[in-house]
Amino acid sequence: MTDHGPEARKLATLIDTLLPGTTDFPAASETAAATILARRHRAKAVLLLLQELPDGFAGSSEEKATSMLEMIEQQRPDLFRDVIEAVYAAYYSDPSVLAAIARTTGYQHPPQPAGYAMPAFDETILNHVRTNPESWRDTRM
């Protein structure tokens, strides 16, 4: 994030409370998620929520911020669902997040052109089921 104004700090607190960093994954504010949210029409719900959050939200502890968001989630479930959708979508589009997923799980992103190597189908797994009796009904009889 390059904007350090009050609204930007509130947004950073919001998205970091929703998606805090870990040893494996960046916090949401360390990604381009905030920029994406400021740009995309889907982020209207986020902007609406920011207007409803008190001025002190940006400076509150993680525990307090979490408590405030839990209350809003209960009171405004539709708005909060839209916020979650927008924040998750922005976060999981970020190259640094996708790189973290690749490091921790072996996931290939984007899916093409590399794809994955997989062992070919092994017919021996059918040994048991091949012995089943025929189970379709012959309508010619």
Partner 1 sequence: MTDASDEIVIVGAGASGAACARRLAAAGFRVTCLEQGHWRDPTDTPTTENNWELARNFEDHWSPNIRRLPEDYPVNDADTPIKPVMFNGVGGSTIKWGAQFPRFRPSDFRTRSLDGVAEDWPIDYFDLEAYYDINDRIMGVSGLAGDPGNPRRSPRPMPPLPLGPGGRRMAEAFDRLGWHWWVSDVAITSRTYRGRGACNHCGPCDMGCPRLSRASADITYWPLALAAGVTLKTGARAFEVTVDGEGRATGVSYFDESGAARHIAAGTVILAANGAGTARLMLLSKSARHPDGLANSSGLVGKRLMHHPTGMVSAVLPDMQENFAGAFACTLLCQHFYETRPEHDFVRGYQMQLVRSEAPMTLALGGHQPRLPWGREHHPTFLQRFGRTVSLTVTTEDLPEEANRIDLDPLLTDSSGIPAPRFRYRVSENTRRMIAHGIGSATRAFEEAGATQIHTQQLLSYTGFHLLGTACMGTDAARSVVDADCRAHDCDNLFIVDGSVFVTAAALNPTPTIQAIALRTADRIIATRRERRSASPTTRHGWRELRETGAVAAPVHGASA
Q: Smaller CB distance to partner 1: residue 51 or 120?
A: 120
Q: Smaller CB distance to partner 1: residue 47 or 66?
A: 66
The encoded tokens of residue 66 equal 């979490």
Q: Smaller CB distance to partner 1: residue 4 or 19?
A: 19
CA-CA distance, 1 to 52, in Å (whole number)?
A: 22
**Smallest distance, partner 1 to C-beta of residue 128, A:** 4
**Smallest distance, partner 1 to C-beta of residue 62, A:** 8
The full DSSP string for 10-72 is: HHHHHHHHHS---SSS--GGGTTHHHHHHH-GGGHHHHHHHHHS-GGGGGS-HHHHHHHHHHH
**Smallest distance, partner 1 to C-beta of residue 135, A:** 5
- Interface positions with partner 1 (CB under 8 A): 17-20, 22, 24-25, 42, 66, 69, 84-85, 88-89, 91-93, 95, 97-98, 101, 104-121, 123, 125-126, 128-130, 132-140
Establish how many alpha carbons lie within 13 A of residue 13's alpha carbon, considering only the half-sphere containing its beta carbon.
26
**Smallest distance, partner 1 to C-beta of residue 110, A:** 5
CB 66 within 8 A of CB 46: no
Q: Smaller CB distance to partner 1: residue 9 or 88?
A: 88
